[in-house]
Homo-oligomer: A and B are copies of this chain.
């Protein structure tokens, strides 16, 4: 997938979709924090652990290299942070590959 070419228009679509998914995922974490049961000391450390895990996950996932974007988008759609329609404007072969990854 390293030799896929991205036009300038596609790069703009990708950038916007990537940023949108990131914002949604972070909003999802914010909601989780707000709903978190915080009563006992151990609840604090469990929240802290959860945040560290989510941070690691996010750092692994949000890899904005054009060689990775097809996979990243496939996973983000599968995880519900992006819709395939929000990538409208990408070439048919890219959409096809993203759908393939989504369905894994």
The residues of A with any CB-CB pair to B shorter than 8 Å are 22-23, 26, 29-30, 33-34, 38-41, 43-45, 47-48, 51-52, 54-55
A33 touches B26 (CB 8 A): no
Point out the residues of chain B lying under 8 angstroms from A34, CB to CB. 38
Most chain B CB atoms below 10 A, which of A40, A44, A47:
A44
The CA-CA distance from A70 to B49 in the complex, in Å, is 31
| Copies of this chain, tallied across the complex | 2
B51, A55: Cβ atoms closer than 8 Å: no
Give me 20 A-to-B residue pairs in the complex whose CB atoms sit less than 8 angstroms apart, sorted by A's number: A23-B41, A26-B40, A26-B41, A29-B44, A30-B39, A30-B43, A30-B44, A33-B33, A33-B38, A33-B44, A33-B47, A34-B38, A44-B51, A45-B55, A47-B51, A48-B51, A48-B52, A48-B55, A51-B51, A52-B52
List B contacts of A47 (CB < 8 A). 33, 51
